[in-house]
């Protein structure tokens, strides 16, 4: 079925949904925290009991208490700044306080249990980084909270790679250099598509047959001529900048026509864009379905990384990119980004690399990261 007929079917489906329930957008569910009966008052101030750095277990165990991190913090093996870090957590990460506390050299510490689909342990963190008031933001952690071996692998690559993995199901983002900027290459075609469709919505128009063909060629076949035509149609840098401002995102620096592939983006920005596409906070229902339809039908030779290294049976809406760095180094850049859904589970992953000594090296990196993240967030029974 050609794209024009597929799009007509999508419009019909959206119309049916709207008639049936008045809305086609479905807000993602937020996992609720397990019920806990706290042993202390529900305030942001937690009592500290002076103890030895390694307290002895109480004869009567203290009931467990839910808490969250307030900032980036290391969980240590002991209540000490000199103790080795078990893991690096970001803000809003959920914890379970064990009831054990200590004061070491005038600094208060709490013992807490943390867990992810890949790891769990009990360690110590400064009391100043703990709150019992549930935050509204997404929980954050470094990649080592998901898999230590992956963190070690990425550390060996340094700034050559950036990773942002958002576990939509559990509301946790795992990052490594996700705030650094990398060349977009063909991943720039996603912001071009989103900008083009958003501009159409503002004028209350639908894409023409020719424009549908350009969108299909740009996303499914990664055609650069189609991308160039649409980039110029949206107003190039000005169009992209206006779109990003409208969706309240930063971290994408568009380049001039003919050089849009050498625009730069942060992995966290690409994940934020795909999150908006996934949850329906960008584009209307019909255009959202069209965008996802195109990204789910990327040709086989463009399905590397997220496309060929995610859990078997998953539905994947994605876009890869690779090109020469053109920064005088003679190296390549490779990236992969996508929305991965299997049953009730969804995660959004973006992996960007630079200074790769040939495309095979870059492809090996994105495949390895995509495989490990998929195994941890969607483990097979």
The better pLDDT of the pair 326, 375 is held by 375
Position 243 in a domain: yes
Question: CB-based burial of residue 6 (10 Å sphere; 0-12 exposed, 13-18 middle, 19+ buried)?
Answer: middle
What's the mean pLDDT in 201-219?
97
Residues 107 and 151 in one domain: no
pLDDT of residue 225 exceeding 90, the answer is yes
Model pLDDT for residues 331-370, shown as the tens digit of each residue? 999 999 999 999 999 999 999 999 999 999 999 999 999 9
Hey, how many other C-beta atoms are within 10 angstroms of the C-beta on 61? Answer: 10
The pLDDT assigned to 370 comes to 98
For the record, the structure tokens of 161 come out as 């790679």
The pLDDT assigned to 62 comes to 53
Position 114 in a domain: yes
Q: What are phi and psi of 184, to 5 degrees?
A: -75, -40
How many domains, in total, are found in the chain? 2
Hey, how many other C-beta atoms are within 10 angstroms of the C-beta on 134? Answer: 12
Confidence of residue 13 (pLDDT cuts 50, 70, 90): low
Position 211 in a domain: yes
Position 37 in a domain: no
Model pLDDT for residues 94-140, shown as the tens digit of each residue? 999 999 999 999 999 999 999 999 999 999 999 999 999 999 999 99
3-state DSSP call for residue 111? strand
Residues 96 and 226 in one domain: no
The pLDDT assigned to 272 comes to 98
Position 29 in a domain: no
pLDDT of residue 21 exceeding 60, the answer is no
Position 312 in a domain: yes
Confidence of residue 11 (pLDDT cuts 50, 70, 90): low
- Residue ending a domain, choose from 136, 157, 186: 136
Model pLDDT for residues 314-338, shown as the tens digit of each residue? 999 999 999 998 778 889 999 999 9
The pLDDT assigned to 64 comes to 75
What's the predicted TM-score (pTM) here?
Answer: 0.85
Range of the domain at 341: 146-377
- Residue ending a domain, choose from 89, 116, 136: 136
Confidence of residue 28 (pLDDT cuts 50, 70, 90): very low
Hey, how many other C-beta atoms are within 10 angstroms of the C-beta on 299? Answer: 11
Model pLDDT for residues 138-183, shown as the tens digit of each residue? 999 999 999 999 999 999 999 999 999 999 999 999 999 999 999 9
Residues 217 and 350 in one domain: yes
- Residue ending a domain, choose from 103, 136, 169: 136
Length of the chain, in residues: 381
pLDDT of residue 51 exceeding 80, the answer is no
pLDDT of residue 37 exceeding 90, the answer is no
Position 47 in a domain: no
For the record, the structure tokens of 155 come out as 């550390």
Residues 115 and 193 in one domain: no
Residues 115 and 187 in one domain: no
Residues 270 and 337 in one domain: yes
User: What CATH code is carried by the domain that includes residue 86?
Assistant: 2.30.30.40
């Amino acid at each position: 079925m050609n794209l024009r007929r597929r799009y007509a079917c999508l419009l019909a489906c959206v119309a049916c949904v709207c008639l049936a329930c008045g809305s086609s957008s479905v807000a993602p569910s937020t996992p609720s925290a397990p019920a806990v009966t706290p042993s202390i008052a529900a305030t942001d101030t937690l009592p500290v009991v002076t103890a030895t750095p390694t307290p002895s277990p109480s004869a009567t165990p203290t009931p467990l208490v839910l808490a969250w991190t307030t900032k980036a913090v290391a969980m240590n093996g002991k209540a000490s700044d000199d103790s080795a870090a078990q893991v690096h957590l970001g803000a809003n990460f959920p914890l379970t306080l064990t009831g054990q506390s200590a004061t070491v050299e005038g600094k208060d510490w709490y013992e807490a249990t943390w867990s992810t689909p890949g790891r769990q342990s009990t360690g110590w963190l400064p009391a100043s980084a703990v709150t019992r008031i549930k935050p509204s933001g997404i929980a954050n952690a470094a990649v080592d909270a998901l898999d230590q071996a992956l963190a070690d692998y990425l550390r060996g690559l340094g700034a050559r790679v950036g990773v942002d993995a958002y576990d939509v199901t559990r509301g946790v983002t795992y990052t490594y250099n996700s705030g650094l900027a990398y060349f977009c290459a063909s991943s720039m075609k996603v912001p071009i598509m989103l900008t083009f469709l958003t501009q159409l919505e503002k004028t209350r128009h639908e894409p023409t047959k020719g424009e549908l063909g350009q969108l299909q060629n740009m996303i499914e076949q990664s055609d650069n001529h189609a991308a160039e035509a649409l980039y110029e149609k949206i107003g190039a840098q000005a169009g992209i900048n206006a779109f990003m401002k409208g969706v309240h995102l930063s971290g994408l620096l568009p380049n001039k026509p003919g050089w849009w592939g050498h625009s730069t983006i942060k992995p966290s920005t690409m994940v934020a864009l795909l999150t908006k596409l996934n949850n329906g906070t960008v584009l209307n229902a019909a255009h959202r379905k069209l965008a996802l339809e195109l990204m789910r039908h990327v040709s086989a030779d463009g399905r590397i990384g997220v496309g060929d290294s995610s859990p078997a049976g998953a539905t994947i809406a994605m876009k890869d990119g690779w090109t020469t760095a053109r920064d005088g180094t003679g190296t390549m850049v490779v990236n992969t980004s996508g929305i991965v859904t299997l049953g009730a589970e969804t995660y959004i992953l973006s992996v960007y690399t630079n200074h790769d000594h040939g495309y095979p090296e870059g492809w090996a990196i994105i495949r390895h990261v995509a495989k490990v993240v998929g195994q941890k967030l969607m483990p097979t029974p």
